[in-house]
Amino acid sequence: MTRMKYYSDMKLILFRTSCFLWLVIIIFAGATSATQAKEWLVGPLFSIKKPSVAIRKAEDGDIIKILAGVYENDYAVINQDNLTILGMNGFAYLKSSGPVPGGKAIWVINGKNIVIRNIEFSGTQVPDRNGAGIRLQSGSLTLDNCYFHDNEMGILTADNPAILLTIINSEFSRNIQDYPTTGSLSHNIYVGGIEKFVMENSISRGAKYGHTVKSRARQNIIRNNRIFDEGDVSASYLIDIPNGGIALIENNYLYRNKGAQNNALISYGAEGMKYDHNALSIKYNSAINEAGIAFLMRNHSDVTIKFIDNWTKNLIAKESPGIEREGLLERLKNKIRNYLK
């Protein structure tokens, strides 16, 4: 081997080694950047005692871990993106028992890709009667194993077509108010005109006068849930999709008791069709009516509904022409007419 060829080969080896080292540095730097998410620990044993403090300090991509316990009258606005908030060793219980700053919710969310897991919300009351455990104003949110109860609204979203909401493994119970006194309706779940709403493997129960699940979203997937009435005065509709859109209602347990405010379990298009594309499939559900004449479905639109293999008890599949409607609004109208006579 000549000296010239030797130096040429060495230069090639050094060049390749240098390229490899730079590649390793770039990969390592990217991995380091991806793992730089900071963890914030919250609880009586830690330096941060309140979830709101950790939320104020956190940056995009961080993780907040909250020790199980009661955190009373601790409110926050979440503006970061990619934030994960976890209850540790059980539910972290966010309890409202006083005035709510901003008059909206315990947590107000504006960030993208927010994940909330193992958190309990209760007690929210505000002057406009829309006090919620969570108010989702923009961005996207996933709720996993969360519990909303005894608020005026469980969760309430804005009418924002960019919002995405996913609810899994969670429960909404008795988010109500005294409708005859206040004149305002409460809903366990109230989804505004957003892009997509998904509810799976969850429970919504014990609504009163209002709806157990109400969604104005363009796309709706309501699957594998238990949605049911409780008490002497129960929900208007178990599922209300008032503005149409694309909806799949699949493999749910639905139960209407004798205290229900409407003679149908599901309503579609009652407040006018908002979207260009509309479709509704109701399949593989188990639906029970406790008393009286009732319908699985009340369709206010001209959309042809797909019914596939639903099991029903004491229910007619859909409302037939000529059957007198006996819902809450109809009874209120009749009372007004009788009063004016």
Q: Are 162 and 47 contained in the same domain?
A: yes
Across the range 33-57, mean pLDDT stands at: 91
The C-alpha angle 37, 41, 44, rounded to 5 degrees, equals 170
3-state DSSP helix/strand/coil percent for the chain, to nearest 5?
15, 40, 45
Same domain, 170 and 57: yes
Q: Are residues 267 and 335 in the same domain?
A: yes
CA 224 to chain centre: 15
- Residue 228 sits at the vertex; the CA angle it makes with 226 and 230, to the nearest 5 degrees, is 140
- pLDDT, tens digit, 9 for 90 and up, residues 117-175: 999 999 999 999 999 999 999 999 999 999 999 999 999 999 999 999 999 999 999 99
| Helices (H), ranges, the chain | 3-34, 51-57, 179-182, 328-340
Note whether 124 and 23 are same-domain residues.
no
Structural domain of residue 12, as residue ranges?
1-36
pLDDT exceeds cutoff 60 at 308: yes
Both 141 and 225 in one domain: the answer is yes
How crowded is residue 308: how many other Cβ atoms within 10 Å of its Cβ? 10
**What is the three-class DSSP state of 227?**
strand
- Clarify whether residues 30 and 137 are in a common domain: no
Tell me how many domains the chain contains. Answer: 2
More confident residue, 219 or 35: 219
Residues 25 and 75 in one domain: no
| pLDDT (0 to 100) of residue 27 | 46
Same domain, 224 and 170: yes
Helix and strand numbers, DSSP H then E, in the chain: 4, 29
Name residue 148's beta-bridge partners: 121, 172
My answer on whether 224 and 168 are in the same domain is yes
